[in-house]
Amino acid sequence: MKDTIYTIPVSEVFEPKEGCPLCRMRDTLEERCLEYIMGAAMMEPDVRQDTNRQGFCTDHFRMMLTRKNRLGLGLMLQSHLDYIRQEVVGAKAPILGKDKRLEKAREVDEGCYVCARIDWAMERMLDTILGLWQKEEAFRTLFSQQECICFPHYRLLAQKAQEKLPKKALPGFLEVAGGLTLGRLEALKGDVDRFCNLFDYRNAAPGPIPEEVRSSIERSISYLCARQIGDK
């Protein structure tokens, strides 16, 4: 397994200063993982063993379907279905020892190879980010210049910071990260308020709807789910 494909320079993620940097990091990791499993890794038995065992979530199956490699997906499904048949639903109950069939079924049902790889790589990148925060003034500046941090990634950062940062560094980090997520939340709330007010009967002729008001619903969902919804 080539772990190097999951290493992204932090500067590459934070330089664009557009949207949530952790969403950008996740998108890059996701893209690389999908590219890898549907390409170079197709013939690697250890990767195939993992995809057979873990399967994929609906989001990642959908993403694979949009790629022009139906045969690749077919081959992966072929051995994944075989695994489920032989090791899970079609497996005989053991005469002695623990019955692992339900455990295996849960892993297939709840697991996802792509999600697991992304989570693993994100953990390592978060460690790097918090390390840089402590060591480099320039990185603290770059971090504070981000446009926003979405809600799930704020939670992830805050949780990781609680575990990893020394006590004296924690409040400063939480204040900056919290400010970036709160700034976006307040702007969205303002736009959603304006959207809802359009339907107030006292606003009989509201005139043209500004773009930021029209898109406030999709953008709020994106902020809450760490996923791009709609066009913007």
Measured CA to CA, the distance from residue 54 to residue 51 in angstroms comes to 5
Single residue of 115, 158, 170, 217 touching Zn ion by CB under 5 A: 115
Choose one: 63-71, 147-155, 158-166, 173-181; the region binding Zn ion (CB under 5 A). 147-155
- Among 13, 20, 84, 188, indicate the residue that binds Zn ion (CB under 5 A): 20
Residues 72-101 that bind Zn ion (CB under 5 A): none
Shortest Cβ 60–Zn ion spacing (Å) = 4
Contact region with Zn ion (CB under 5 A), list: 32-40, 42-50, 105-113, 203-211 = 105-113
In the bound complex, what is the minimum distance in angstroms from residue 25's beta carbon to Zn ion?
8
CA-based nearest residue to 21, from 119, 144, 164: 144
Smaller CB distance to Zn ion: residue 64 or 112? 112
The correct pick among 6, 10, 13, 23 for binding Zn ion (CB under 5 A) is 23
Q: Measure the CA–CA gap between 187 and 216, rounded to whole angstroms.
A: 9
Element (H, E) at 154: helix 151-164
How near is the Cβ of 138 to Zn ion at its closest, in Å?
22
- DSSP label at residue 230: S
Residue range at the interface with Zn ion (CB under 5 A); choices 17-25, 65-73, 156-164, 188-196 = 17-25
Mask for 29-68, x = binds Zn ion (CB under 5 A): ----------------------------x--x--------
Q: Please give the full DSSP string across 56-120, using - where no structure is assigned.
A: --HHHHHHHHHSS-HHHHHHHHHHHHHHIIIIIITPPPPSSS---HHHHHHHHHH--HHHHHHHH
Contact 113, 54 (CB under 8 A): yes
Q: Under rule CB under 5 A, which residues in 153-172 are in contact with Zn ion?
A: 153
18 dihedral zone (left: phi>0; alpha: psi -120 to 50; beta): beta
Residues contacting Zn ion: total by CB under 5 A: 11
Largest CA distance in the chain: 76
Confirm or reject binding of residue 219 to Zn ion (CB under 5 A).
no
Single-letter residue type at 153: H
Q: What is the binding site for Zn ion (CB under 5 A)?
A: 20, 22-23, 57, 60, 112, 114-115, 150, 153, 226
